[in-house]
């Protein structure tokens, strides 16, 4: 099992200038996370904000990040490129999961999925090996792609992968031995890392023809280092009878039986196997999710990019569709966008239904460094920005309740002043403490301490001034009320 601080280098998906995000700094921890510009215009659902931001030159702060609703940092993970940082349920308990690895300029990646418990201990590390072909013929430790890492109700993990293969592309204007990307997904047993099921889009060319792709073959694609991407798999979820897979370049979702057979296709262009009713179109989509599935249909939510870097069509929206498999109709239920802030997201993004009762939806805009929460009346009640548009991205972003009590101790740094000292305190990842107490000690191994000061928690880091401390040894304690939750080392200043 890889350690929780697993790191990886990256080639970023964005074509960006030399710009860094506005960032915060702290004395007690060497972090530089993006500063969130918050606009709260209504009542948002409870929970923290989960992001995996990345930029072209700002490596510090490029990590799995948790913020509170005021924009305060709560947790920063290892400095690495991440995706799909979120809370999921495993064996009845909340865990946090994220992908970390190399993001290629081709629009996919190679990496590993990490599963952490509520103390941030890594309890599972999921990898994928096999006979994959890469653009430079390199061998990777794991071939899991960044697009999906979804824990199923049966405690398995759904992941995506991309494999290079040579294929006859003459039917779409290519050559007989061009290189292309085959989109795969795998269902993996979390406890054993055993592959339980797998699927290849290219093996179903009879029902998913290359001629249906909206990604056209050009003169500059078809080689091993610039393969043709007909499908671009970016979401996979389990259903009552199998799986639902999203292929971005097909503008479609495909319902599959467990054996991989295509049952039906819903297309954003023309409905596919369904007749479109109302506004039911979408294009270049991400993050397809299934809700309320019955024998006669389901609800399908998705992030409708409606744009690519070379093809900007219309405003990006969050779309909810009703699919009736008896009458074979697809009906538009919701289309979410902010009329005061029209966004054109050319890549990435997510749509999270927060609560079926109140209808709140949380959307991350992918290549545009913004998140927004909409209420049940489709009004924006919360928004945040964490960098310049098209210069900073987060593949997906979420809002989740989370309770974290780190296995590491609180951090403390003391700076001497003319009057005594200033004590800077933080506890990365801790959610439950609300106040600090500062103590003096007689030595760095002392078990006897004297209380000097106390203070309410203020964001990620709290600073307290102490006057004429009796010794040069200090210790801090994080508490909830009077209950001690965490105690720092004794430090000398």
Judge if 468 and 325 occupy the same domain.
no
CA dihedral 147, 312, 222, 234 (to 10 degrees): 10
Judge if 378 and 437 occupy the same domain.
no
Looking at 400, 420, 448, which one is the last position of a domain? 400
Judge if 67 and 189 occupy the same domain.
yes
Question: Considering only CA atoms, which of 466, 473, 470 is closest in space to residue 418?
Answer: 466
Kindly state the average pLDDT of the residues 427-456.
96
pLDDT at position 460 over 70: yes
Mean pLDDT of the chain: 94
Q: Does residue 8 sit within a domain?
A: no
pLDDT at position 27 over 90: yes
Q: Does residue 215 sit within a domain?
A: yes
Q: E strands within 147-210? A: 149-151, 156-167, 178-189, 195-200
Least confident of 18-27, 302-311, 448-457: 18-27
Judge if 346 and 437 occupy the same domain.
no
Q: Look up residue 90 and give its two tokens.
A: 């495993």
Strand partners of residue 454: 437
Looking at 400, 433, 455, which one is the last position of a domain? 400
> Secondary structure of the chain: what % helix, strand, coil (to 5)?
0, 45, 50
> Where does the pLDDT of residue 57 fall: very low under 50, low under 70, confident under 90, or very high at 90 and above?
low
Q: Look up residue 282 and give its two tokens.
A: 């979408």
The answer to whether 28 touches 413, Cβ cutoff 8 Å, is: yes
Residue 60: the pLDDT is 83
pLDDT at position 123 over 90: yes
Judge if 415 and 393 occupy the same domain.
no
pLDDT at position 13 over 60: no
Judge if 137 and 224 occupy the same domain.
yes
Strand partners of residue 100: 82, 112
Judge if 125 and 216 occupy the same domain.
yes
Judge if 466 and 330 occupy the same domain.
no
> Where does the pLDDT of residue 386 fall: very low under 50, low under 70, confident under 90, or very high at 90 and above?
very high
Coil vs helix vs strand at 411: strand
- What CATH number corresponds to the domain at position 445? 2.60.40.10
DSSP summary character for residue 175 = -
- What CATH number corresponds to the domain at position 265? 2.120.10.30
Distance CA 159, CA 455 (A): 45
For residue range 133-160, list pLDDT tens digits in order: 999 999 999 999 999 999 999 999 999 9
Q: Does residue 362 sit within a domain?
A: yes
Give the total residue count for the chain.
493
Q: Does residue 29 sit within a domain?
A: no
Number of compact structural domains in the chain: 2
Judge if 144 and 190 occupy the same domain.
yes
Looking at 358, 378, 400, which one is the last position of a domain? 400
**Checking phi first, is residue 80 left (phi over 0); if not, alpha (psi -120 to 50) or beta?**
beta
Q: Does residue 333 sit within a domain?
A: yes
Judge if 389 and 448 occupy the same domain.
no
For residue range 214-242, list pLDDT tens digits in order: 999 988 899 999 999 999 999 999 999 99
Q: Does residue 20 sit within a domain?
A: no
Distance CA 299, CA 330 (A): 9
Distance CA 140, CA 105 (A): 16
pLDDT at position 244 over 60: yes
Residue 304: the pLDDT is 98
Judge if 137 and 252 occupy the same domain.
yes
Work out the burial of residue 37: count CB atoms within 10 Å of its CB; fewer than 13 is exposed, 13-18 middle, 19 or more buried.
middle
Q: What domain range is 86 assigned to?
A: 37-400
Q: Does residue 10 sit within a domain?
A: no
Residue linked to tokens 């009906």: 331
Q: Does residue 23 sit within a domain?
A: no
Q: Which residue has the higher pLDDT, 249 or 216?
A: 249
Judge if 259 and 351 occupy the same domain.
yes
Residue 108: the pLDDT is 97
Kindly state the average pLDDT of the residues 370-376.
98
């Amino acid at each position: 099992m890889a350690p929780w601080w697993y790191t990886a280098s990256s080639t970023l998906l964005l074509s960006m200038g030399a710009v860094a995000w506005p960032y915060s700094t702290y004395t007690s921890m060497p972090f530089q996370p993006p500063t969130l510009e918050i606009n709260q215009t209504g009542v948002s659902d409870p929970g923290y904000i989960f992001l995996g931001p990345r930029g072209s030159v700002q490596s510090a702060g490029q990590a799995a990040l948790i913020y509170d609703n005021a924009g305060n940092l709560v947790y920063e993970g290892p400095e690495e490129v991440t995706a799909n940082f979120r809370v999921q349920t495993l064996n009845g308990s909340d865990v946090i999961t994220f992908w970390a690895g190399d993001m290629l300029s081709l629009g996919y990646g190679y990496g590993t999925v990490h599963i952490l418990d509520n103390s941030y201990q890594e309890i599972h590390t999921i990898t994928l090996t096999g006979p994959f072909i890469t653009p430079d013929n390199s061998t990777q430790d794991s071939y899991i792609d960044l697009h999906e890492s979804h824990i199923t109700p049966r405690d398995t993990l759904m992941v995506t992968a991309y494999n290079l293969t040579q294929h006859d592309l003459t039917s779409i204007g290519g050559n007989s031995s061009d290189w292309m990307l085959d989109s795969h997904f795998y269902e993996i047993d979390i406890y054993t890392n055993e592959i339980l099921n797998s699927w290849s889009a290219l093996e179903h060319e009879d029902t998913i023809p290359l001629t249906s792709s909206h990604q056209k073959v050009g003169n500059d694609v078809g080689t091993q280092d610039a393969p043709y991407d007909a499908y671009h798999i970016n979401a996979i979820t389990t259903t009552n009878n199998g799986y639902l897979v999203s292929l971005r370049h097909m503008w479609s979702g495909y319902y599959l039986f467990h054996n991989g057979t295509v049952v039906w296709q819903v297309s954003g262009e023309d409905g596919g196997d369904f007749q479109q009713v109302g506004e039911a179109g979408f294009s270049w989509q991400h993050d397809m999710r299934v809700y309320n599935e019955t024998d006669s249909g389901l609800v399908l939510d998705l992030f409708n990019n409606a744009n690519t870097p070379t093809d900007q069509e219309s405003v990006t929206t969050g779309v909810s569709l009703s699919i009736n498999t008896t009458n074979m109709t697809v009906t538009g239920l919701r289309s979410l966008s902010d009329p005061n802030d029209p966004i054109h997201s050319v890549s990435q993004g997510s749509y999270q239904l927060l609560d079926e009762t109140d209808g709140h939806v949380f959307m991350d805009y992918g290549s545009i460094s913004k998140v927004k929460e909409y209420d049940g009346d489709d009004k924006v009640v919360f928004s945040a920005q964490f960098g310049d548009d098209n210069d900073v991205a987060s593949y997906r972003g979420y809002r989740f309740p989370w309770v974290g009590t780190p296995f590491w101790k609180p951090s403390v740094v003391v700076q001497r002043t003319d009057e005594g000292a200033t004590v800077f305190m933080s506890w990365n990842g801790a959610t439950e403490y609300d106040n600090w107490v500062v103590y003096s000690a007689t030595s760095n191994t002392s078990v006897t301490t004297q209380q000097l000061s106390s203070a309410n928690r203020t964001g990620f880091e709290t600073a307290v001034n102490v006057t004429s401390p009796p010794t040069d040894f200090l210790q801090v304690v994080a508490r909830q009320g009077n209950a001690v939750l965490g105690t720092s080392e004794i430090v000398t200043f």
